[in-house]
Structure 1
Amino acid sequence: MEPKSVLAFDIDGTLTKRNTYNILPEGLATVLNALSKAGHYFLPVTGKPIAYVSRLIQTNHLTDRGIIAENAGVYRKPESETIEIFEKESVKAICELKEMLGLVPSAGNICDVFIEGRIHKMPVDPEDHSILTLFTDPKFISHRWQFEQTITTEEVFDFLQKIVQDKWDDQLKVIPPFPDGGIQVIRKTHTGRIIDKSLIVDVIKIMFEMTEMPPIAMFGDGHNDVPAMTPKEVTAITFSNAHPLLIDFVKNKKGYISQSPAPDNYGTVEGLYWLVKTNFFKEDSNLVKRILDNTFKDRFS
């Protein structure tokens, strides 16, 4: 069945607390499953690897409608086990960058990273297929990796910026650091277009083999969610505690900014109710409202 609409969600800071798997608020996962069953597909659109998102789907018993991951560098079709890489040829530049950095895995995927003649230990996400993700701040990821921070996040970012601009400016781009100290290097297409979440419409067409696009809503909280909300086909939704750049973008696009924060309050749920009010779900608006009310009526009555 083709989707009647696509409900695209960032993960960290939107559905879950950073680097955790439990979807918040309680009851939202049940609602997302009911909406998917009704044809309004839940679709993760994230910078995380597909394996990470698959664990989130399993942990929350979600219906698998596919995944867009690594900032749209990879995707997986519904209930498929095959990871597809968008513009696979450009992964070569990521491999060359890793070689230049001398990424030598030691215990538990902690790598020796060579920066300005010194070795610094930091985790490199082993599940990435198309990008490079370095974690620079141990306090946010201590449940996964233990290491000593010997260089600041800003210093790592500045170094990566310089070498990418010098050697791979037409093939790679460094994303500004995330709140948890993660830094990602993403790719560009052969025409120079950045491979990021702005490709959401293109990838959805491929995933569901569609010629006409259904309505798409994108829920997000970070600066890297701006690209996903940029296409004209996408309705933008963010939260009171989101990144200021994203809040300004959503305001200018006339999207929705929740009164409550996310993920551990009701920002995402407020966004879903707003979609009902704006007739995003068309003939299913009353059905979607009933689905929401079954779980959240006491909060929003």
Structure 2
Amino acid sequence: MRIINFVESVIIVSTDTVEIAAEGETVQVEVETNVTYTVEIPEADRVWLSIAETRAATHKETLTFIAQANPNTTYRYSTVNLKDDSGLVAQSILFAQKASGYKTVHVETAGTLENYISADEKEKLIGLKLTGKLNTFDYDFMRTMSALESVDLAQIDNTTIPASCFKESTVKTVILPLNLEVIPDNAFSNSSITSIDIPSTVVSIGNNAFDNCSLLAGNLLLPNDLQSIGNNAFRLCGKLTGNLHIPNSVINLGSYAFSDCSFTTLTLERGITTIPKYCFKLGKSFTGNLIIPDQVEVIKEHAFYSSPLMDI
């Protein structure tokens, strides 16, 4: 409970923070005051948050706020001000509404995720944030969650994820574990993923890891300590654009690794000794010149097939 004094004026509210259910609800805040005041809801928030006309002309009253359902997969917030007669903010109340279809679960024992998700949530959850420990049974269970679009794995304890864990998945967004070391074979192949941030701890990207992720878009930033990029790792990721920079740490580059992508520039560092076949095939968006490092000993057949690089 907070008390704010303005000379002889007093406004007391029962709480200055209110959490609202995602499906919307009516919430009440008790006010005790000896001044006339107004309640100001930000104009942009009035589409989902309003106040009922139930205020009494007494010194003790209850403000009733009505919140509509939150259709988003993220929290939304509104700060409501109580102003005195002079227009000064005498008190503020923060309203925080939970996300729709979003749940945070701590999995204490690997393989038990299904125990934390009800049958109704299994069909309706859109977003899932996980902590704790996971194994293949947990990833298999996520595959059965038909509405799932977003998975946040940033805070799980594991340094690995299973092979094929999101293969052919309809999940659009995955935040990878912050301490992940390997993105395994087929991890996201043929999936609906739209973006990816690869943690700085990753040293290996497996075969077909992002093969044919046709919705994967934007720039691709490879970690500075990355050592290996497998065959077909980013093949047919036609919406990947910008500069493709292969770090100095990379010593193994697979066939077809970046074929049929839309990168505009290519930078090769000194770690690579062999450029494998079809590695940059159909890189039709490449522009400018390409400098091949002196350390490269072998350029295999069709490595730059149908690529418009001006000079190599």
Instruction: With a CA cutoff of 8 Å and minimum separation of 6, indicate the structure with the bigger relative contact order.
Output: 1
For the pair shown, which has the larger CA radius of gyration, 1 or 2? 2
Tell me whether the two structures share a fold, i.e. TM-score over 0.5: no
> Which band: TM-score by shorter chain?
under 0.3
Higher helix share: 1
Q: TM-score, normalised by structure 1?
A: 0.26
Higher strand share: 2
Q: TM-score, normalised by structure 2?
A: 0.25
